[in-house]
């Protein structure tokens, strides 16, 4: 891993160009293997569409907010 070679932490960007129904399970798997723990260095980018409707989009937003910083 580059982090060991460079002796520094690297930013991680997870680009999710997935159907909305898969976003929750993929982000939960990122959490399961602890790739989200450094909330300052881990980023997630979600490609549109973001949910099927307002309620599903709000639900996805809540899930992502628990794992990643919105800024």
Give mean pLDDT in consecutive 10-residue pieces for the chain, a chain of 71 residues: 74 87 89 78 84 90 83 67
CATH of the domain at 39: 3.40.50.720
pTM over 0.75: no
Please report, for residues 5, 19, 27, 58, the alpha-carbon distance to residue 34 in angstroms, rounded to integers and kept in the order given.
Answer: 21, 23, 10, 24
- Look at the block and give the residue holding tokens 């979600």: 46
Instruction: Name the residue among 39, 4, 40, 47 with its Cα closest to residue 23.
Output: 47
Domain of residue 14: give its range.
2-67
For 62, what's the count of Cα atoms within 13 Å in the CB-facing half-sphere? 6
Number of domains in the chain: 1
CA angle 6, 9, 13 (to 5 degrees): 115
């Amino acid at each position: 891993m580059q982090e060991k070679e460079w002796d520094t932490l690297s930013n991680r960007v997870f680009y999710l160009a997935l159907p909305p129904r898969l976003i929750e399970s993929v982000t939960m798997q990122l959490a399961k293997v602890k790739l989200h723990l450094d909330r300052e260095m881990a980023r997630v980018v979600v490609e549109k569409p973001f949910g099927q409707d307002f309620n599903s989009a709000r639900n996805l937003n809540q899930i992502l907010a628990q794992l990643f910083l919105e800024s």
